Structure 1
Amino acid sequence: MAKYFDVHPDNPQPRALRQVTDIIRAGGLIVYPTDSCFALGCRVGNKEGIDRIREIRRLDSHHHFTLVCKDFAQLGQFVHISNALFRSIKAATPGSYTFILPATKEVPRRLLHPRKQTVGVRIPDHVVTQALLTELGEPLLSSTLLLPEETEAMTQGWEIKERLDHVVDAVVDAGECGAVPTTVIDFSQDQPEILRRGAGDPSRFE
């Protein structure tokens, strides 16, 4: 049965954040709000957590997982960013974008795209997510909470608690969340490719 945390959207309670991060550090899988929509999250090295995300979303081996980072310094530990890309990515963060980039050796092999050796990264513009990442002190391995055969993400924490009560360990609710996933841009080739048009304005990368 998932624990339910009702947190303030502008001033999340420190005690609740500590309890959530304790669950994450103990190997738990959580649902949490972002600036695009709710996401599933666990520790980067949590193999069981990754398997649970794959099962919940029915993902294949080519799915790009995302490392949700607190800031650009943390993001830079996990992906290679050329000088040419640095400025355009920095200008779009924090925000509702996921960037696909070549991974560094800090990223576990099981998280990489098997052929491209890439991983998704992003820095969300969301008070609760940022507070959670600060308390945790490391990125969250994440995937958009979009259930199989559904076209829209759930926007209410109580609904997620009801539907996923026995497959996740905690639900963090900070009020109604968006239903549009991030815009995904693949920077692993010479030219940027927009893989998904979502909450972030894609025109700056076209």
Structure 2
Amino acid sequence: MSERLSVHPINPQARLVEKAAGILRAGGLALLPTDAGYSLVWTLNGKEAEERVQRLRELDSRHPFTLLCRQLSEAGRLARLDDPAFRLMRSLTPGPCTFILPASADLPKRIKNSGRSKRRDIGIRLPDHVVARTLLEAMGEPLLSTSLVLPDDPHPTSHEAEGVAERWLRWADVMLDAEDCEPGPTSIVDCTGDQPVVVRQGFHPVAL
């Protein structure tokens, strides 16, 4: 049975965050509030959880998922950050922005080899939400994530906790319910070329 854990949005209870972390470590799938709506999250080794997401959202194995990281140093182990990308990320994080970056040699093998060819880039976020950051600290590692978009619902509302629980909790193992959060989507900045390029402006637009 799925669990809905009500946590304080500013001072989340450590025991509830740790309970969610334990479910994730056991291979579970969690609903997590972020600074751009709720997201589904799972561990880097959570292959079965990822397959559940793929079936639910009708995604193939080539679909890229985003990595949620605690800090820039962690992102720098998973992606190659040149000086312009580092400075840009430092100025815009934490915040509701996804950065597409060249993958590093240290990207976990399961992630690097997903799909029909090896991953050459990766999406990374450093969320600015206390509950999300607290869970990442409890895990001590990045989490894979995806937005709450079903095939029959192209314009979802993913920031209202009650609606998220009603529509999504049946498919997740746990929800950290921190009430409503900021709407999404994130802005997306592609840092794989000579110059960073905004490829999507989110709910909070960015200027380079």
Tell me the TM-score normalized by structure 1: 0.90
Q: Which ranges of structure 1 fall in alignment gaps of 5 or more residues?
A: none
Q: How much does 1:178 deviate? A: 2.6
The one-letter code matched in structure 1 to 2:127 is P
* 2:93 alignment partner in structure 1: 93
> Within 1, Cα distance between the matches of 2:144 and 2:166?
23
Mapping 1:184-199, distance limit 5 Å: 184-199=188-203
Does the 8 Å contact 1:34/1:129 carry over to 2?
yes
Deviating more after overlay: 182-191 vs 127-136: 182-191
Q: What SS class does the counterpart of residue 104 from structure 1 fall into?
A: coil
- 2:181 maps to what in 1? 177
Q: Residue 162 in 1 paired to residue 166 in 2? A: yes
User: Structure 2: which amino acid aligns with 1:169?
Assistant: D
Confirm or deny: 8 A CA contact 2:36 2:159 kept in the other structure: no
Question: CA 1:160–1:113 in 2, change beyond 3 Å: closer, same or farther?
Answer: farther
Q: Secondary structure at the match of 2:207?
A: helix
Match of residue 71 from structure 2 = 71
Measure, in 1, the Cα distance between the counterparts of 2:50 and 2:14: 27
Aligned residue for 1:119?
Answer: 122
Question: 1:45 Cα shift?
Answer: 1.7
- 5+ unaligned residues in a row in structure 2: which ranges? none
Aligned equivalents of 1:51, 1:150: Cα separation in 2 = 21
Secondary structure in structure 2 of the residue aligned to 1:166: helix
How far off its partner does 1:28 sit?
0.2
* Separation of aligned partners in 2, 1:118 and 1:61: 15
Secondary structure, in 3 states, of the residue corresponding to 1:143? strand
Once the two structures are aligned, what percentage of the paired residues are identical?
A: 36
Provide the residue aligned with 1:5 in structure 2. Answer: 5
Distance in 1, Cα, partners of 2:61 & 2:25: 25
Give CA deviations for 1:6-35 in whole Å, capped at 9, x if unaligned: 000110001101100000000000010001
1:67/1:28 Cα in 2 relative to 1: closer, same or farther (>3 Å)? Answer: same
Which residue in 2 is equivalent to 1:103? Answer: 103
The 3-state SS of whatever aligns with 2:21 is: helix
Structure 2 partner of 1:128: 131
User: Using the alignment, how far apart are the partners of 2:87 and 2:116 within structure 1?
Assistant: 25
Give the partner amino acid of 1:134: E
- Post-superposition offset of 1:189: 1.7
Provide the alpha-carbon RMSD of the alignment.
Answer: 1.9
Counterparts of 1:42-61 in structure 2, within 5 Å, are 42-61=42-61
Is structure 2 residue 28 aligned with structure 1 residue 28?
yes
Greater Cα offset, 105-114 or 148-157: 105-114
Change beyond 3 A, Cα 1:124–1:58: same
Question: Could you say what secondary structure the match of 1:201 adopts?
Answer: coil
Tell me the amino acid that sits aligned with residue 13 of structure 1.
Answer: Q
Q: In 1, are the aligned partners of 2:29 and 2:172 still within 8 Å (CA)? A: yes
User: Residues of 2 paired with 1:79 and 1:97: CA distance?
Assistant: 16
